[in-house]
Chain A
Amino acid sequence: MHSSDEYAERDIDISMLTRVEGEGSLRLRMRDGVVESARLSIFEAPRYFEKLVEGRKPDEVIDIVARICGICPVAYQMSAVHAFEDCFGVEVEDGVRALRRLMYCGEWIESHALHVYLLHAPDFLGYASAVEMAEDHADIVGRGLQLKRLGNDILALLGGRAIHPVSVRVGGFSRVPRRGELDALRHMLDHAVEWSAETLDWVSTLDAPAFERDVELVSLVHPHEYPMNHGRIVSTRGIDVATGAWRDAFEESQVPDTNALHARTRSGTTYLVGPAARVTQCADRLHPRAGAALRQSGLGGAIAANPYWSIAARAVELLHASSEAVDILDAYTRPDVASVAWEPRAGVAAWSTEAPRGLLFHRYEVDASGFVRAAQIVPPTSQNQGRIEDDLVAFTPTMRDASDAELTHGLEQLVRSYDPCISCATHFLDVEIEEVP
């Protein structure tokens, strides 16, 4: 028998999560102070991308999968282009490889600046939005917008536009810029480095809730580089597989009572991908400037253990990406050819890259003419969803005495700290349509 105490049973229902990308809701059920279930559910309409790319050729797939996410289209293009090039045995020029990293730097800057300043910071400072925050902190919001703009400028220069750029092709790019086209951007990037350093200094002063948990972190790890397009899939608990072998270590499995599939490790545990995982596993491969700033901040341990401090991980990566972008531009010589010739080959094209929100795995079965016959795409938010729910269960008892409004705010803030991209997650296997009364 349960107590008749009116507070013993408690349901928290957030019907629409705000300041996240896409449409989702959160439902939490507590009994006697214990959380019985936490359900991050997604009512974003499915779009069936894995079917949409069937019967399409590699370069068409690159254009199509970008549309999975307006915030991180480059990530989808990168996982796809590398998967196909690996399958077909295409070797791109070093200059092309560097430009692809530059493009990813642009996307990380744009996406991280968006999240740090416009979506996440208002939680720490008690505002409903960055617009309201700007009424009191115009300089801070202004810095975030400028930084975001520079990320977009990098993307527009390399890809024609910031959202759904058009230049990424199997074999390289449709066009690569001349040296002189990069000069104006190069000048501005010195500011990006400076503003990124200021970002880390500023977020270090924020006050995050004291909530720590022990979690398996997963990211690409590369022997020399901070991970973007290359490396092995490595975890803090011993997973170590090739970039295309995601399915050897993880599976999309069914969770009881939800009818939703979440990604889990083969041993059935939840795990976390994203900036905190990368910073924790690859701190020694950060750009020296970012590495030094991380050490000086003293936040390395907090980034690994406390989800709220993901804001600092993003700030560290802002500094890394803007510093690396400067280095790439300074070393740039235009590749001899924008794209090398290639021939399709039947096989499995599988690759993972590091989207702003974490590991993004693509797998395509390709026929001898280059047509895709089957596809699997596992976005970062699908992988994080189980971990987010576990953290919600662990976190809620720390707010046992809070009012419903306070608890609701605390839970929303926790969900936002993962920067969930529901638009990405939705179109795949993690959908649960819940009838909300």
Chain B
Amino acid sequence: MTRGAPTVGVVKFASCDGCQLSLLDLEDHLLEITGTFDIVEFAEATSRRSPGPYDVLLVEGSVSTEEQAAEILELRAQARTLVTIGACATAGGIQALRNWADHDEYRRAVYAHPEYVASLATSTPVSSHVRVDAELHGCPIDRGELLELLSALAVGRRPQIREDAVCLACKRRGVVCVTVARGIPCLGPVTNAGCGAICPAMDRGCYGCFGPRPEANMPSLTGSFLASGGTRADVARLFEGFTAYAEPFRTTVSDLRGRGPEEDADAQQ
């Protein structure tokens, strides 16, 4: 690290640690990154700790306990630039499926003493709680996009993250469409690119882990899934994945299931 290098913190809420691991997975660039930035907080990787302030704070995970709801407010105050990384932080993650369910039943089913488990009824994205300066999508995030983000922050330019759908990435990669050729349901038309279209390239449908495109035409896609024989529950399950709580997937799931999720407001009780 160099004197005066921008300080970086990496913190987590409810998550699998995979997105912060993506930073360590930048193996070939890791020592360059640590030479450019001063990583002052990253509990998974270093015993050195810092409560802030941070020039850049990378936040993994969804807000799912009262402590986390309070902590994100503190962290926001310590961060000049706050970037959420991954489907949990940007969309609530797979654990946000509990937002449609009875949280008390979940707690009773998994824990013998549910009263000792202090978790909120909802799992919500960081942006439901504080202002977020940038987001990296994905479950997990793409290493290349993370490297681009850090490179841009290092020199103070805008990160060049491509904004289009998996369908376009698929065409660029020259992959035969799994839906057209084989009738496999695929969320590629409505999902953010960034993964490199790996699911179609692996002969399966996209499952939406980079989250919905804002302009997604949901009625058209769900209509075609229903027309090809899927039940409403079958189609709902396609969207009940790692970014189900992000709009417009959230409304689609609620419409197909005939029930809505707990609202964000509950997360800030």
Using CB atoms and an 8 Å cutoff, list the residues of chain A in contact with chain B. Answer: 16-23, 43-48, 50-52, 56-57, 60, 63-64, 67-71, 73, 114, 118-119, 122, 128-132, 134, 138, 141-142, 145-146, 148-149, 152, 159-164, 166-167, 169, 173-175, 254, 259, 261, 338, 412, 423, 428-429, 431-433
B139: Cβ under 8 A from any A Cβ? yes
Contact A429 B202 (CB under 8 A): no
With A21-B44, A51-B101, A161-B195 known as contacts, the answer to whether A46 contacts B110 (CB < 8 A) is yes
8 Å CB contact of A47 from B34, B46, B64: B64
3 closest A-B pairs by beta carbon, nearest first, are A70-B18, A129-B46, A160-B198
Tell me, yes or no, whether B39 is within 8 Å of chain A by CB: yes
In contact, B13 and A20 (Cβ under 8 angstroms): no
Closest to B61 in A: A45
Partner of B202, one of A43, A138, A174: A174
Quick one: closest A residue to B29, CB to CB?
Answer: A145
- Asked if B161 lies at the interface with its beta carbon under 8 angstroms from chain A, I say no
Given known A48-B98, A149-B27, contact A428–B110 (CB-CB < 8 A): yes
Residues in A neighbouring B27, C-beta threshold 8 A = 145-146, 148-149, 152
> Which residues in A have their C-beta under 8 angstroms from that of B199?
160, 166
What is the bound-complex CA distance between A19 and B61, given in angstroms?
A: 18
Contacts of A429 on B, CB cut-off 8 Å? 110-112
Q: Which positions 1-19 of chain B face chain A at CB distance < 8 Å?
A: 12-19
| B65 CB–A CB distance under 8 Å | yes
- How far apart are the CA atoms of A429 and B47 in the complex, in Å? 27
Contact (Cβ within 8 A) B98 A52: yes
- Is B28 close to A, CB under 8 A? yes
B259 at the interface (CB under 8 A from A): no
Q: Is the CB of B111 within 8 A of A46?
A: yes
Provided the pairs A67-B16, A166-B198 are in contact, do residues A51 and B110 lie with their beta carbons within 8 angstroms? yes
Interface bin, chain B: 35 or more
Query: Quick one: which of A17, A118, A134 contacts B24, CB cutoff 8 A?
Result: A118
CB-defined contacts of B198 to chain A, threshold 8 Å: 160-161, 166
Q: Could you tell me if B109 and A50 are in contact, using CB atoms closer than 8 angstroms?
A: yes
> Are B46's CB and A259's CB within 8 A?
no
Find out whether the CB atom of A129 lies under 8 angstroms from the CB atom of B17.
Answer: no
B95 touches A68 (CB 8 A): no
Tell me, rounded to whole Å, the shortest Cβ–Cβ distance linking B213 to chain A: 20
Asked if residues B17 and A70 are in contact (CB atoms below 8 Å), the reply is yes
A16 lies within 8 A of B49 (CB): yes
Given contacts A50-B110, A64-B94, contact A141 B31 (CB under 8 A): yes
- Distance in angstroms between the alpha carbons of A132 and B38 in the assembled complex: 11
Provide the residues of chain B in CB contact with A68, threshold 8 Å: 16
CB neighbours of B48 from chain A (8 A): 128-129, 132
B89 CB, min distance to chain A CBs, angstroms: 13
B115-123, B129-137, B222-230, B245-253 - the one binding chain A = B115-123
A52 and B21 contact, CB distance less than 8 A: no
Task: Give complex CA distance A16, B67 in Å.
Answer: 15
Is B68 interfacial (CB-CB < 8 Å)? yes
B242 within 8 A of A: yes
Instruction: Kindly identify, within residues 80 to 98 of chain B, every residue whose CB is under 8 Å from any CB belonging to chain A.
Output: 93-95, 97-98
B27, B112, B204, B207 — which one has the most chain A CB atoms within 10 A of its CB? B27
Given A18-B46, A114-B24, A149-B27, A56-B117 contact (CB < 8 Å): no
| Set of chain A residues within 8 Å of B148, measured between Cβ atoms | none
Known pairs A18-B43, A119-B45, A149-B25; list 12 more (Cβ under 8 Å).
Answer: A19-B45, A43-B67, A46-B111, A51-B106, A71-B21, A118-B45, A129-B45, A131-B45, A166-B198, A175-B204, A259-B112, A429-B111
Residues of B contacting A56 in the complex (Cβ-Cβ under 8 angstroms): 237
- Listed by A's residue number, 17 A-B pairs whose Cβ atoms lie within 8 Å are A43-B67, A47-B14, A48-B109, A48-B110, A56-B237, A64-B94, A69-B16, A71-B17, A73-B18, A129-B47, A132-B46, A152-B27, A160-B199, A161-B140, A164-B18, A175-B201, A431-B116
Chain A residues whose CB sits within 8 angstroms of the CB of B44 once the complex forms:
18-21
Tell me the smallest distance from the CB of B46 to a CB of chain A, in Å.
Answer: 3
B21 adjacent to A163 (CB under 8 Å)? yes
In contact, A70 and B94 (Cβ under 8 angstroms): no
Report A-chain residues with C-beta under 8 Å of the C-beta of B172: none
| A67 & B119 in contact (Cβ 8 Å cutoff) | no
Decide: B39 and A431 in contact? CB cutoff 8 A. no
